[in-house]
Amino acid sequence: MSEFVFSPKPIRIESGDGASLTDESGTEYLDMGASYACTPLGHAHPAVVDALTEQAEQLTYVQGSYPVSVREELYDLLPELAPEPIDHAWLSNSGTEANEAAIKFARHATGRSKILAMTGGFHGRTLGSLAATWKPKYREGFEPVAGGFDFVTFDDETELREAVDEETAAVIVEPIQGEGGINPASDGFLKAAREATEEVGAALIFDEIQTGVGRTGSMWVADQVDVTPDIITTAKGIANGLPLGATLVREWIAEDAGNHGSTFSGGPTVAAAAKATLETVRDEALPNHAGDLGDRFRADLEAAIGDRVKDVRGEGLMIGIQLKRGANRVVRDLAMEHQILALPAGRTVVRFLPPLIIGDAEVDRTVEAVEAVIDST
């Protein structure tokens, strides 16, 4: 067991179907966290299951230097789904690796080392991404992390403009902070980040590992704000639960990205799952659905509990409720008394990142349960 790293939950999950998870005693849970946004199509989605089984039977894996159709198709599809002029992709195996690649590419392409990250930000747990991650609890006892990183106050335009200079290789920002507590950056801040980096020739990196793949009402938050970064990183939901990260870059980064690599990069089985996931998200217009349903979800939460909590916020199906007290108790009561799986985000925020395939019924059930739990505590 990995208990020295993870604390196990008191529920033993055996199977999943759509937005539903079933434990060993047959109890069904509504999966409103999607294991940190990793299953946008829910569990056992036929498009993903078929793609996976067919690919596993045909060719499970061959190293990245051999051209393989499914890998090439994914390498074409990702830039197609990204905002112009982002036109290249690099595939890895996780979110933290997608960010490591972004940091390395930005340093190589600019010939500079300084990376500016945000207070409250989370970018992963390997020593480079960890250096860009704000909370000391993630870093304590593991130092030294990678050097050359500085923090600026999230959403503080003036401080950011002052910090970006001729030595800056990149600014990395989550356009909506996930682990930090569902904190959206203002459009003005993202625009300032774009202007400041452009002025000095630094790269702007959007970490869309939690926000991306349709969750916030469009494929990426970058599509919703009038800002196109130089690099978008994505992972979590991109292959509906299989391990994949992607670093999507503009031409000037791609043409001078330096020497990088990864053995499993774009392995055929994982690539097949990702291609099926992304095509389904696009073809079924799930970003629009997430946007509309999310608006309703937030409005209903606001009406039900708005006067008893500090804030209900987010975009699309990335929603946080800022409580007046600790979030763990509410998350536990939702699971144990109402069979609804939610997530905390920091100490006082309850977070929902459901599969994008849910509908009105799942939203209604969740709002009712949240109201009951808030009333009873």
Ligand X SMILES: *Cc1c(COP(=O)(O)O)cnc(C)c1O
Positions touching ligand X (CB under 6 A) are 94-96, 99, 122-124, 174, 178-179, 207, 209-210, 235-236
Retrieve residue 174's tokens: 């989550």
Nearer to ligand X, 179 or 333 (CB): 179
Residue 73: C-alpha distances to residues 76, 92, 257, 272 (Å):
5, 16, 22, 9
Smallest gap from Cβ 308 to ligand X, in A, equals 28
Smallest gap from Cβ 292 to ligand X, in A, equals 24
Query: Which burial class, exposed, middle or buried, applies to 227 when counting CB atoms under 10 A from its CB (0-12, 13-18, 19+)?
Result: buried
Residue with the CB atom nearest ligand X in the bound state: 95
Task: Give dist(CA 296, CA 34) in Å, integer.
Answer: 19
Nearer to ligand X, 222 or 374 (CB): 222
Nearer to ligand X, 99 or 218 (CB): 99
Retrieve residue 348's tokens: 């006082």
Smallest gap from Cβ 139 to ligand X, in A, equals 14
Smallest gap from Cβ 118 to ligand X, in A, equals 11
Smallest gap from Cβ 207 to ligand X, in A, equals 5
Nearer to ligand X, 178 or 217 (CB): 178
Nearer to ligand X, 209 or 374 (CB): 209
Cβ(40)–Cβ(237) under 8 Å?
A: yes
Task: Give dist(CA 33, CA 42) in Å, integer.
Answer: 10
Nearer to ligand X, 210 or 280 (CB): 210
Smallest gap from Cβ 106 to ligand X, in A, equals 16
Nearest to 171 by CA among 208, 143, 126, 132: 132
Cβ(263)–Cβ(63) under 8 Å?
A: yes
Q: What number of CA atoms fall less than 13 Å from residue 32's CA on the CB side?
A: 30
